[in-house]
Amino acid sequence: MKRIIPSGPVAGTVRLPGSKSITNRALVVAALASGTSRLQGALRADDTDAMVESLEGLGIVLSWAGDDLTVEGSGGSFGTGDVEIDVRGSGTTARFLTAAATVHTGTVVVDGNRRMRSRPIGDLVRTLGQLGAAVEVLGDEDRPPVRVHGSSLAGGAALLDASRSSQFASAVLLVAPYAAGDVVLELQEPIVSRPYIDQTLDVMRAFGAEAGWDGPTTLVVSTGGYQAHDYVIEGDASAAVYPLVAAAVCGGTVRVGPLPAGSLQADLGVLPVLERMGAQVTRHGDDIELTGSPRTLAAVTEDMNAAPDAVVALAVAALFAEGRTSLTNIANLRIKESNRIDDLADELRKLGGSVETGDDHLSVEGGELAPADIDPRDDHRLAMAFALAGLRIPGVRLENPDCVAKTWPDYFDMLEGITTPLVVAIDGPGGVGKSTVSQAVAGRFGLGHLETGGMYRAGALAVLEAGLDLEDEEAVAALIDSLTVDIVDGQVILNGREVTAALRTEAVSGASSRVSAIPRVREALVALQRRWVDPEGEGAVVEGRDIGTVVFPDSPVKVYLTARPEVRAVRRVRDLGLREDDIPRIASELAARDQRDSTREVSPLRPAEDALVVDTSDMPIEQVVDRVAAYMLERR
Ligand code: DC
């Protein structure tokens, strides 16, 4: 179980893993080609390992050097003998090699894991049959395993039902240059995920094949094979979706690449969708940059047929958008690594999402969000997407996070690299309930808690103990510079001495307010507060006077608590264990302190422009905590 650390705005540049789709296509083509090919920037992950090992099983010699793969091409005839290959969970490996295995001499059984045995393959097998291959389906209901009896394809005309998976068309195309005659493949509409077919044609042509569309539904491939080639593989656009969506939902800016301008990768289709949701997208050479404004994330209605893999991450983003997002024309998501309509909906609902599903669509709206333990159903895209939900919803935990290795083994390292632990900034004058609320919120979400007033109070105590004149700013600042102050589990440690109890006196309260108006003192203590919130840590609730305005101005969750002066005076008297007739005196002390804290020149007490202002005068404390917690989850 992996606990996801909630994040403030993201920042950074992500070097994407090589495209899975392109890597597996190029591997098949290079394995069939004449000569030795080099695939630069190839993806090294479970799905491409499955392809590499399956090709090795078919007699192909491959070797890795860093991210480069060298492939000794077979010149259009794989090995001999009867072999079995295990494609594990890789759909492209199963489909592409069922077709490519027709150039093997002998029989090839193509099998995979349990999920693979539930994904259809019959349409592909029937089309290969029309082209002269002998392939049997061994599993139930048109599902793997299949047995391919090696015998090259004759070629000619064939019909393919392309409504379930574009991988069937790609599989036929990839082996078609080795058919005895030209292949004319007629696709029955509707054609799902058409950009993936274009991607296949692009890789084929790079290795010298003549292949292309002849009309909207007809593909033509000339016989003639492939020539080896040194081929550069683009970054994976399907992977790019996750850091991009992270910026859209958390705010901040990320760059991802390499994704060259002419890229055909289908999931680049997510970019205009994210723009319509309110993000800003710009191109910088081979990189794409996205800046998010999560507070104004808007719901969208989109036909996702051309970019199906992006649906899972968009559905998660929809939790944080204003309104109901509808993603349509996605029926084939039911037969991916998981049922990416129903399984996705179940997990979104655990987080409080309001989700409706249909045969070929899904709609999502945020509602009252709450943390949950997410089961990604061993589906890498669910795991990657729900990690993004955890960046926004504190307390999300992910079962079986390692399933991301299917396409992005370093995914969580990437995420750590671009995220910053969430800081919840709670400001306000004394007696409004800041500490109680901050502690409760931190406890509820497992965040750290820093009461910055303790640092000013510790400084004031040291000044009083040293007998310094509070007017002597030089001397006071010099003394505070020389102190070591830390706060550990709510205990204030001054020069190694635990002083928490000594800080609550009225003398210290008054002195701390005066000490805190000295610019050099603030500089020193603000630096200390920023260090306290460990950039590698798990996030924190930080309370004070200037947290949202000065110390952590990028915090996406800023709260300003206020209350009527008489209410605050009563609370203070109660907290300090004083008597009722102390109320007027405490009230006037609070008023004087407010006046000084909010009129001082540096970092005066005031709400940040984007702060949620809550008047706690007439609210029980639990209600304030609930209000702040709800705001944290919505952030808008
Ligand atoms: O929150 P508190 O009452 O413990 O704070 C004591 C004083 O410290 C307060 O009067 C002003 C000052 N302070 C500040 O200037 N900035 C902060 N972030 C926290 C406290």
pLDDT at 636: 63
DSSP secondary structure of 511-528: HHHHHTTSHHHHHHHHHH
In short, whether 452's Cβ falls inside 6 Å of ligand 1 is yes
Amino acid at 308: P
Are 391 and 249 within 8 A, CB to CB? yes
Rg, Å, the chain Cα set: 31
pLDDT at 506: 87
Are 155 and 121 within 8 A, CB to CB? no
Task: Summarize pLDDT for 82-101 with one digit per residue, the tens.
Answer: 999 999 999 999 999 999 99
Task: Summarize pLDDT for 159-205 with one digit per residue, the tens.
Answer: 999 888 999 999 999 999 999 999 999 999 888 889 999 999 999 99
- Does position 296 have pLDDT exceeding 90, yes or no? no
Nearest residue CA, atom 5 of ligand 1?
Answer: 453
In short, whether 381's Cβ falls inside 6 Å of ligand 1 is no
- At 68, is the secondary structure helix, strand, or coil? strand
Q: Which residues pair with 284 in a beta bridge?
A: 287
Are 124 and 169 within 8 A, CB to CB? no
Mutate to test the pocket of ligand 1, among 438, 456, 551 (most ligand atoms within 8 A of CB): 456
In short, whether 593's Cβ falls inside 6 Å of ligand 1 is yes
How many whole angstroms from 558 Cα to the centroid of ligand 1?
Answer: 17
What residue ranges define each of the domains in the chain, with the CATH number in brackets? 2-15+235-418 (3.65.10.10), 20-232 (3.65.10.10), 423-634 (3.40.50.300)
% residues pLDDT > 70 (the chain) = 100
Residue with tokens 């044609």: 201
In short, whether 513's Cβ falls inside 6 Å of ligand 1 is yes
Mutate to test the pocket of ligand 1, among 504, 545, 601 (most ligand atoms within 8 A of CB): 545
Are 431 and 571 within 8 A, CB to CB? yes
Task: Summarize pLDDT for 398-449 with one digit per residue, the tens.
Answer: 999 999 999 999 999 999 999 999 999 999 998 899 999 999 999 998 899 9
Nearest residue CA, atom 16 of ligand 1?
Answer: 545
**Can you give the three-state secondary structure of 602-622, one letter per residue?**
CCCCCCCCCCEEEECCCCCHH
- Does position 492 have pLDDT exceeding 80, yes or no? yes
Instruction: State which ligand 1 atom lies nearest to the alpha carbon of 546.
Output: 18
Instruction: State which ligand 1 atom lies nearest to the alpha carbon of 551.
Output: 18
- Does position 576 have pLDDT exceeding 90, yes or no? no
In short, whether 512's Cβ falls inside 6 Å of ligand 1 is yes
What is the DSSP secondary structure assignment for residue 502, as one 8-state letter?
A: G
Nearest residue CA, atom 4 of ligand 1?
Answer: 453
How many whole angstroms from 393 Cα to the centroid of ligand 1?
Answer: 29
How many whole angstroms from 554 Cα to the centroid of ligand 1?
Answer: 20
Q: What is the mean pLDDT of the chain?
A: 95
Residue with tokens 């890795």: 64
In short, whether 545's Cβ falls inside 6 Å of ligand 1 is yes
Phi, psi of 348 (to 5 degrees): -65, -40
Query: Which helix (H) or strand (E) segment is 160 a member of?
Result: strand 156-161
b vs e for 156-177, b when ≥16 Cβ sit within 10 Å of the residue's Cβ? Answer: eebebbbbbbbbbbbbbbbbbb
- Report how far residue 30's alpha carbon sits from residue 25's, in angstroms, rounded to the nearest whole number: 9
What is the DSSP secondary structure assignment for residue 550, as one 8-state letter?
A: I
How many whole angstroms from 433 Cα to the centroid of ligand 1?
Answer: 13
How many whole angstroms from 34 Cα to the centroid of ligand 1?
Answer: 75
How many whole angstroms from 430 Cα to the centroid of ligand 1?
Answer: 8
- Report how far residue 71's alpha carbon sits from residue 35's, in angstroms, rounded to the nearest whole number: 9
Mutate to test the pocket of ligand 1, among 513, 523, 547, 560 (most ligand atoms within 8 A of CB): 513
Q: Using pLDDT thresholds of 50, 70 and 90, give the confidence band for residue 312.
A: very high
What is the DSSP secondary structure assignment for residue 105, as one 8-state letter?
A: B
230 in catalytic set: no
Cα torsion 15, 17, 18, 23 to 10°: value is: 180
How many whole angstroms from 569 Cα to the centroid of ligand 1?
Answer: 16
Nearest residue CA, atom 13 of ligand 1?
Answer: 453
Instruction: State which ligand 1 atom lies nearest to the alpha carbon of 457.
Output: 6
In short, whether 546's Cβ falls inside 6 Å of ligand 1 is yes
98: tokens are 């069922």
Burial of 79 (0-12, 13-18, 19+ CB in 10 A): middle
In short, whether 429's Cβ falls inside 6 Å of ligand 1 is no
- In residues, how long is the chain? 636
Mutate to test the pocket of ligand 1, among 434, 452, 509, 543 (most ligand atoms within 8 A of CB): 452
Q: Give this prediction's pTM.
A: 0.87
How many whole angstroms from 595 Cα to the centroid of ligand 1?
Answer: 13
Task: Summarize pLDDT for 510-528 with one digit per residue, the tens.
Answer: 999 999 999 999 999 999 9
pLDDT at 534: 81
How many whole angstroms from 531 Cα to the centroid of ligand 1?
Answer: 18
Q: Which residues pair with 195 in a beta bridge?
A: none
Mutate to test the pocket of ligand 1, among 435, 437, 512, 568 (most ligand atoms within 8 A of CB): 512
- Check residue 125 and give left, alpha or beta (phi > 0: left; psi -120 to 50: alpha): alpha
How many whole angstroms from 492 Cα to the centroid of ligand 1?
Answer: 14
Q: C-alpha distances in angstroms, 36 versus 27, 41, 63, 509?
A: 12, 16, 11, 77
pLDDT at 635: 72
How many whole angstroms from 335 Cα to the centroid of ligand 1?
Answer: 58
In short, whether 529's Cβ falls inside 6 Å of ligand 1 is no
In short, whether 93's Cβ falls inside 6 Å of ligand 1 is no
What is the DSSP secondary structure assignment for residue 518, as one 8-state letter?
A: S
- Does position 505 have pLDDT exceeding 70, yes or no? yes
Instruction: State which ligand 1 atom lies nearest to the alpha carbon of 509.
Output: 6
Say which of 111, 236, 309, 427 is annotated catalytic: 309
In short, whether 453's Cβ falls inside 6 Å of ligand 1 is yes
Nearest residue CA, atom 15 of ligand 1?
Answer: 516
pLDDT at 538: 87
pLDDT at 192: 86
pLDDT at 525: 97
- The 10 Å Cβ neighbour count of residue 620 is 10
Rounded mean pLDDT of 293-314? Answer: 94
pLDDT at 227: 98
In short, whether 431's Cβ falls inside 6 Å of ligand 1 is no
DSSP secondary structure of 331-371: GGGGGSSS-TTHHHHHHHHHTT-EEEE-SSEEEEE--S---
Residue with tokens 């209000």: 627
